[in-house]
Structure formats: C-alpha cells, structure tokens
C-alpha cells in the first residue's frame, strides 16, 4: 500500500494520503489542541469528508508511543490484510524490519 506524504488535496496539504482508498492521515502535535487550530482542523476534516475522503487523526505522541496500534488502525481503516503482531523477542539483536 503506497501512501504519499504532504499531498495537496483541494486547498489543503494533508500529512499522508492513499488515493486508492481515499484515506487521509493527519498527525497532530500539541499545536492542534489550541481552540483556534481545533476549529480549523474541524473545517478541514469536514471539507475532506465532503469530497469523499476518510480522515483519521493521530496525536504525534500516539505515533511515537504506540506505533503498532496506529498501524493496526490504519490497516483496519483501509481493509488491507492485517500485519501479524510481532513477538516481544522478535528482532532482538537485529534491525527492525516491516513485513
């Protein structure tokens, strides 16, 4: 599955997109918790959804602290084949590799 980074869609540039499944993924830092920014994000999400995109938002701390869960949610949203959950010992002493 190919995601594009910093993709222009209409008047916006989204963090990640997958055009085939019309999925947009946004990674939000603390700045997005400010009321003014939250209102802009809500308008942006509404516009993208009106154009037929599904928008999934993650806090940057979720990506940092629970990456596997984030990936599972993305996979579930796209309907792609799930990624097997790696054993906690898998990859010890070796470079981490994605299937």
Of 39, 11, 7, 10, give the one whose Cα is nearest residue 26: 7
- Residue pair 1/78 in contact (Cβ under 8 Å)? The answer is yes
Across the chain, mean pLDDT equals 81
Pick the CATH number of 4-78 from 3.30.300.30, 1.10.10.60, 3.40.640.10, 3.40.960.10: 3.40.960.10
Task: Please give the Cα distance from 6 to 15 (Å, whole number).
Answer: 5
Q: Where are the domains of the chain?
A: 4-78
pLDDT at 93: 45
Using CB atoms within 10 Å of the CB of residue 23, give its burial: 0 to 12 exposed, 13 to 18 middle, 19+ buried: buried
pLDDT at 56: 93
pTM assigned to the model: 0.72
In tens, the pLDDT along 33-62 reads 667 778 898 999 999 999 999 999 999 899
What 3-state class would DSSP assign to 72?
Answer: helix
């Amino acid at each position: 599955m190919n995601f594009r980074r910093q993709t222009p869609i209409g008047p916006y540039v989204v963090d990640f997109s997958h055009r085939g499944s019309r999925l947009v993924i946004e990674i939000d830092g603390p700045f997005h918790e400010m009321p003014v920014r939250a209102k802009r994000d809500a308008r942006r999400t509404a516009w993208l959804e009106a154009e037929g995109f599904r928008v999934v938002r993650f806090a940057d701390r979720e990506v940092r602290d629970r990456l596997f869960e984030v990936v599972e949610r993305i996979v579930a949203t796209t309907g792609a084949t799930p990624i097997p959950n790696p054993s906690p010992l898998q990859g010890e002493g070796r470079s981490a590799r994605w299937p």
